[in-house]
Amino acid sequence: MAEFTFDAQVIYWRGPAPYYFAAIPAEIGAKIAARVRSVSYGWGVIPVEAQINGVTFRTSLFPKDGSYLLPLKSKVRAQLGTVDLEMLHIAITLG
């Protein structure tokens, strides 16, 4: 399993329904992309286990602009107290 640790900015995606994501830095995104075939279950979506400030959760990365976005569900944001444009220190494990 591949593990990565990085700092990421939280972004707000208005869309038809509001979503929050942590933008994976490009250099980490490139390393993830090199492993996408072995861990993706289709459409480039990659299952991960993420940990932020002691909160551990499972989700999937979504490809975006040559890197990936880590979705931050409302339950996770409530546990973290995350606000828009906040920087987070994140650890993820692919698969």
The CATH number assigned to the domain holding 15 equals: 2.40.30.100
Note whether residue 95 is domain-resident: no
Q: How many domains does the chain have?
A: 1
Nearest to 68 by CA among 39, 38, 26: 26
Pair of tokens at residue 22 = 């942590």
**For residue 76, what pLDDT is reported?**
93
Average pLDDT per 10 consecutive residues for the chain, totaling 95 residues: 93 82 95 78 80 95 92 91 83 94
Query: Which residues span the domain enclosing 45?
Result: 3-89
The pLDDT assigned to 1 comes to 75
Q: How many CB atoms lie within 10 A of CB 54?
A: 7
